[in-house]
């Protein structure tokens, strides 16, 4: 190869890399909070075999949020024989107390709320030190500036699109602008992190969040009401239509 040919080959390689970096993979994360716990295993298998890559697992302590859901024994039990990504959303006070235990019971990624800990940076580092993906969640009224100084360390940010604590609530429209602003920031900073949205996402609202830049879509009642496989397939079809 002469110099010009080498330069051209190098440019094509760089463009390929840039293209790969821009690739958008939209992931569906069904929230098992809305599943029928009497047949939880079957519920999970129905949505993962239909194409959902993440399983969104909502842990609530009755303190950070009003309700109580489930904890480690349930997670260890559903982990057996399953290899989908366990996306554990901790809605608990001082989540740093339990990071080791959630790692031990099979979490692949842990999300802590910025509002639930005085030591957000330390909590993020602890999650990563355990080899898991680290995410921070923000309640609807918490500004994006709460992520300053940790954003570069994160694998994902979770924008709550309802107030956490219950499934089946209505999407808060003001969150669209928040998602959009975060996507803009992430693109400007060229960060690889994912933006997850959680709460009130269904056939009517999914376009809005995808268009604003979310790429991990949590859906509880949107998946676990009616035909699970059909719901997953329909949502994935919409999601696959959104590229960068
Ligand atoms: C709410 C939970 C959500 C909930 C979403 O606090 O974090 O994950 O399961 O449920 P839907 O999709 O029904 O709003
Ligand atoms: Zn959640």
* Stretch 218-224: mean pLDDT: 98
* Closest alpha carbon to 35 in 220, 203, 216: 220
Which pLDDT score is estimated for 124?
98
pLDDT bracket for residue 4 (50, 70, 90):
very low
Beta-carbon contacts of 208 under 8 Å, excluding residues fewer than 6 positions away, are 171, 176
Which pLDDT score is estimated for 214?
98
* Closest alpha carbon to 26 in 153, 227, 211: 211
Which pLDDT score is estimated for 23?
87
- From CA 174, how far away is CA 191, in angstroms rounded? 24
pLDDT tens digits, residue range 153-209? 999 999 999 999 999 999 999 999 999 999 999 999 999 999 999 999 999 999 999
For ligand 2, a single-atom ion, the residues with CB < 5 A are 58, 89, 198
- From CA 164, how far away is CA 170, in angstroms rounded? 11
pLDDT at 20 over 70: no
* Stretch 137-148: mean pLDDT: 98
For the question of residue 203 being annotated catalytic, the response is no
Which pLDDT score is estimated for 22?
61
Which pLDDT score is estimated for 161?
99
Map tokens 């268009």 to a residue: 211
Helix (H, G, I), strand (E, B) or coil at 55: strand
pLDDT at 59 over 80: yes
pLDDT at 3 over 50: no
pLDDT tens digits, residue range 29-40? 999 999 999 999
Report how far ligand 2's centroid is from the alpha carbon of 13 (Å): 39
Ligand 1 closest atom vs CA 222: 12
For the question of residue 36 being annotated catalytic, the response is no
Q: Which pTM does this prediction carry?
A: 0.92
**Sign, CA torsion 37/106/55/196:** positive
Q: What is the DSSP letter of 213?
A: T
Of 58, 87, 155, 215, the active-site residue reads: 58
Q: Which long-range contacts (CB under 8 A, 24 or more apart) does 201-208 make?
A: 201/161, 201/171, 203/234, 203/235, 203/238, 205/161, 205/171, 206/235, 206/238, 206/239, 207/238, 208/171, 208/176
* Stretch 124-152: mean pLDDT: 98
Mean of the per-residue pLDDT values of the chain: 94
pLDDT at 19 over 70: no
Of 61, 155, 198, 215, the active-site residue reads: 198
**Ligand 1 pocket: which of 31, 52, 59, 165 to mutate (most atoms <8 Å of CB)?**
31
**Ligand 1 pocket: which of 160, 169, 214 to mutate (most atoms <8 Å of CB)?**
169
* Closest alpha carbon to 156 in 206, 86, 118, 109: 109
Cα(first)–Cα(last) distance of the chain, in Å?
Answer: 34
Which pLDDT score is estimated for 107?
98
- From CA 24, how far away is CA 201, in angstroms rounded? 19
Selected residue with higher pLDDT from 95 and 14: 95
């Amino acid at each position: 190869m002469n110099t010009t040919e080498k330069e051209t080959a190098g440019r094509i390689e760089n463009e390929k890399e840039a293209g790969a970096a821009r690739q958008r993979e939209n992931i569906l994360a069904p929230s098992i909070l809305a599943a029928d716990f009497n047949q939880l295993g079957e519920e999970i298998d129905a949505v993962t075999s239909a194409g959902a890559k993440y399983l969104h697992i909502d842990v609530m302590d009755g303190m950070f949020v009003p309700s109580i859901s489930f904890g480690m024994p349930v997670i260890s039990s559903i982990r057996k024989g399953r290899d989908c990504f366990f996306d554990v959303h901790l809605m608990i006070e001082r989540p740093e107390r339990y990071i080791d235990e959630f790692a031990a019971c099979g979490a692949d990624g842990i999300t802590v709320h910025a509002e639930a800990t005085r030591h957000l940076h330390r909590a993020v580092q602890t999650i990563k030190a355990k080899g898991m993906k680290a995410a921070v969640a923000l309640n609807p009224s918490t500004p994006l500036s709460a992520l300053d100084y940790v954003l570069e360390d994160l694998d994902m940010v979770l924008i709550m699109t309802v107030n956490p604590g219950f499934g089946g609530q209505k999407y808060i429209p003001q969150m669209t602008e928040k998602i959009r602003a975060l996507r803009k920031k992430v693109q400007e900073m060229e960060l690889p992190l994912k933006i997850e949205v959680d709460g009130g996402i269904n056939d009517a609202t999914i376009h809005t969040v995808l268009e604003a830049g979310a790429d991990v879509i949590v859906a509880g009642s949107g998946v676990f009401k009616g035909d699970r496989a059909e719901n997953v397939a329909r949502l994935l079809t919409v999601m696959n239509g959104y590229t960068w």
